[in-house]
Structure 1
Amino acid sequence: MKRIFTTVVLGGTAFTVCAQSTVTLYGSLDSGITYVNNAQTGKSGERLVGHPQTALTDGALGFGNRWGLRGTEDLGGGLKTIFAIESGFGMNTGVSQQGGALFGRQSWVGLSNDLGTVTLGRQYDSYIEAVQLLSVLGSWPAYIGTHPDDVDNLANTNRTNNSIKFSTSGWNGLKVGAMYSFGGVAGNFTQNQIWSLGARYSVGSFSFGAGYFNARNPNVSFYGNTPNKGTATANNIGSFGSATSPQANPVFAGYASANTTQIIGAGVTYALGQTTIGVVVTNPRFESLGSASGPNPLKYSGTANFINAELSVRSHLTPTFLLMSAFDYLKRNSVNNDGGAKYYQFDFGADYSLSKRTDLYALAVVQQASGRDSLGQPAVASITGFSPSATNRQAGFRLALLHKF
């Protein structure tokens, strides 16, 4: 009888714990055929070399292949423990993304109640949470339609390490958040610090969001926070390329010596029946160029100031068929009297839901650049996710299958 009683008690206890705790496995698989009319392969002397390219691609060109675990534990009195760990990978090769970090997309733990949540770890900042879903990425099933080289980070190209974040649960449609990342430098509390603020308000068909992001010593603290990066002597933002390798992020890679990166962004969407119109404006700034944050071979000084404006339209022709389009304009001021640069981009897409979890989509992106870019060359087109063009124009197309679980 004692053994039976013990079994019943322990069994009941185990059942209670399971009932109060949940762990969910989730992820996405995205693979498709991508064509780009001009992708850099290197240099011939000072001349950039580029060729058309057709490939089976995933990762940054698609939805972002990932798997993760998220969970909650009820602690009683309305208080819960929450966590998430999320890993990015290339489905066609199996290689880890985010510089080889095992849980490079997210890894955090925190507490939540009716007032809000506090989380600690590697996570998305409050600026992203306030503005991203109001941009074309709110419905666009891939990252190639985001702003040139993702200069304002709305596609989450970079996350934030060592951070603590507070987000409210919401009050009459309003949610606010704040995040602080500790620099961890002995004797200098602010050297590598990152902080951000964000607010979202939604009522009926209307949504508005605004956010602010600030990273000190950004080449190391923000752009260099993955295992294969991190030193001030390397350019963690991008690459100047070589005779056998393409450039990376020419829109702003030359500004690795900025003492501070600052981004201000705001967006609004309004739904008219099955059609949603959105406007997003962001202002990325790379301030105090010439600091010790990173290399500065072009001897830049002052501030590189970008203004980005996006207009997007998405419409459900049927419950399962979505059409999307966007126009993006990016302008940079003159740095060291280089005259600045401009980028024009058009996005077109269609998404057909085969089920609640599986989509077939097609995307087309066209970009044109003018002026001189951050690498001191005539500005080349650089659609996010592709190798930059060897000329001032670039066009890409993607047909892919996306499954979420």
Structure 2
Amino acid sequence: MKKSLFALAALSAFAGAAQAQSSVTLYGTIDVALTYINNAGLATGASGTTSTSTPTATGNALAMTDYGIFSNVWGLKGEEDLGGGLKAIFNLEGDINALNGSVYKNTTTGIDQIFRRSANVGLAGTWGEVRLGQQGNPLVAASANLVPVEGNSVNLIRSAAGYSMGDYMSNAISYQSPNLNGLRVKAAYSASQQVDDATGGSAFAANAFYNLGGLMLTAGYNQQNAMNNLTGSALSSSNLPTTDISSTAWIQNSSKPGDLKGYVLGARYKVSPTFEVGYGFGHADYNSGTSLPAASAAKTYNSVTHIVGLGYNASPALLLGLNYAVTNSDSSLYNAQARYSLSKRTMLYAQVGVAKNGAGSYAGSTTAYGNFQPVQVNTSQNPTAVTGYAALPNTTQTSVGLGVVHNF
């Protein structure tokens, strides 16, 4: 009897040790709001094909919107202790469309991307970590930390200024440094998978964060090389799409064919335990060269954006934020937020956005480069938040939203 009890205790101890060496965590965020938007718009020919459509405002909308502040995601992450300070790591992360419960569908390939955000594996140690596979663009993380109270609707500066090559990097290898006396650096390279063209469609991105007392400095960079079509041919004047550049005949950075370089710089300072200020600067250098006639797609542009923001903790549960962003395309965005925490995992929020847009550089049926949307909304698949909703040129749009966020 004593031997049986001893064996059972030993087996339990072994099982506990094995469990401690390997772990898997399920996590996620759901953000849904009821949002009023005035001067909601539908671009002429939004169903179709021309990149020179003239957008028009259609009226006001009361809509259900998701990820106005936080991205709706679910994922699995885990690690295994390999000994000697070395760990195996992995991350799978996908989108949640809280409006209809669907997964993200790539409109170019028609593929349901269950783990569009992350699907990677790697190794980690005191030296940092290396990951291989689908993962986020490091520039996006830098852009999301420029001001104290940001969120998706403020991070729209990436799309308005056009300095981001996209949210995610496929076929990527990345390195994340450990904390080096307040400095963290990450770099990633995305292979083009073109045997006969080592540079076409490939991408590089990096970020750096430095904390010194109440000061945080941020930097980010990305570069996307010339896009290829599905046949593997490099983009040139002889094989340009004759319709909208978002045509299914194109892959990679379909909204901005050509070479794109972008960077962002920022500084945040904690003036007091409850008050923080921030400033960010973003720049895009998009060079289509001679291969991209303006009549076929977006014009060559060199854009600049500035953003300033304030954050104030009115109480342990209430966070207030005020932001202003402006581009050199005669467009600006005002954003005000109030976030109230009911618990560590559940939050209520109110958000107001005012987008004052100039002419911009209109290209495609749903986007005007250089212009802002008043709020980030899900319009990628049915049911859309606002049909054909766009950052309309020469229009002022206002949004007011009340939402709830839960983290699990």
Paired position in structure 2 for 1:75: 82
Find the counterpart in structure 2 of residue 248 from structure 1: none
Contact 2:163/2:284 (<8 A) preserved:
no
Look up the SS of the partner of 2:288 in the other structure.
strand
Q: Distance in 2 between matches of 1:81 and 1:116?
A: 12
- Cα deviation, residue 21, structure 1: 1.2
Does the 8 Å contact 1:255/1:289 carry over to 2?
A: no
Instruction: Supply the AA of the counterpart residue of 2:121.
Output: V
Which range is displaced more, 47-56 or 298-307? Answer: 298-307
User: Structure 1 residues 48 and 162, CA, compared in 2 at 3 Å: closer, same or farther?
Assistant: same
Deviates more, 1:375-384 or 1:82-91: 375-384
**Gap runs ≥5 in structure 2:** 46-52, 107-111, 231-238, 248-252, 378-388
Q: Which residue of 2 aligns with 1:250?
A: none
Are the structure 2 counterparts of residues 379 and 192 from structure 1 closer, same or farther at C-alpha, using a change threshold of 3 Å? closer
Percent of residue pairs bearing the same amino acid type: 27
Match of 2:138 in 1: 126
**Within 5 Å, which residues of 2 pair with 1:3-402?**
11-43=12-44, 48-59=56-67, 61-97=68-104, 99=106, 100-129=112-141, 131-136=142-147, 139-140=149-150, 142-148=151-157, 150-151=159-160, 158-218=167-227, 233=241, 256-258=256-258, 260-273=259-272, 274-289=274-289, 291=291, 298-299=295-296, 303-331=300-328, 341-375=329-363, 382-383=373-374, 385-386=376-377, 387-388=389-390, 389=392, 391-402=394-405
- The structural deviation recorded for 1:212 is 1.3
Cα distance per residue 1:375-399 (max 9 Å; x no partner): 3999875345351237521111111
Q: Which runs of 5+ in 1 are unaligned?
A: 222-230, 240-252, 332-340
Describe the SS at the equivalent of 1:18.
helix
CA displacement 1:149-204 (0-9 Å, x = unmatched): 72457999621111000011111101112111111101111112111222211011
- What's the CA shift string for 1:37-94, capped at 9, x where partnerless? 01113439966242111012214x3422111111111111101111111111111310
In structure 2, the residue matched to 1:247 is none
The 8 Å contact of residues 330 and 359 in structure 2, kept in 1 or not, is answered as yes
| CA distance in structure 2 between the partners assigned to 1:154 and 1:306 by the alignment | 8
Judging changes above 3 Å, is the alpha-carbon distance between structure 1 residues 375 and 50 closer, same or farther for their aligned structure 2 residues?
same
**Aligned AA (1:37):** N
Q: Tell me the CA shift for residue 115 of structure 1.
A: 1.2
Q: Would the alpha carbon gap of residues 29 and 397 (structure 1) be closer, same or farther in structure 2, given more than 3 Å must change?
A: same
Q: CA, structure 1 residues 275+219, in 2 after alignment: closer, same or farther (shift >3 Å)?
A: farther
Higher relative contact order (CA 8 A, sep 6+): 2
Pick closer, same or farther for the CA change 1:403–1:34 going to 2, 3 Å.
same
Q: Which amino acid aligns with 2:356?
A: Q
Q: What is the TM-score with the length of structure 2 in the denominator? A: 0.79
Taking structure 1 as the reference length, what is the TM-score of the superposition? 0.80
Q: Is the 8 A contact 1:290 1:300 kept in 2?
A: no
Distance 2:83 2:13 in 1: 18
Q: Is the 8 A contact 1:132 1:155 kept in 2?
A: no
Contact 1:344 1:367 in 2 (8 A): yes
Name the structure where helix makes up a greater proportion of residues: 1
AA of the residue aligned to 2:402: L
Alpha-carbon distance in 1 for matches of 2:115, 2:186: 23
Q: Which amino acid aligns with 2:397?
A: Q
Counterpart residue type for residue 51 of structure 1: G
CA contact (8 A) 1:219 1:235 kept: no
Q: State how far apart, in whole Å, the 2-side matches of 1:349 and 1:58 are.
A: 16
Distance 1:384-1:396 versus aligned 2 partners, 3 A rule: closer
Cα distance, 1:298 vs structure 2? 1.3
Deviations 1:104-143 (A, max 9, x none): 12111111111110011111233233x234324x533x42
Residues 205/390 of structure 1: CA separation in 2 closer, same or farther (3 Å cut): closer
Contact 1:128–1:156 (Cα < 8 Å) also in 2: no
Partner of 1:246: none
| Cα contact 1:371–1:378 (8 A) shared by 2 | no
Equivalence for 1:336:
none
**Distance between the aligned counterparts of 1:9 and 1:62, measured in 2?**
49
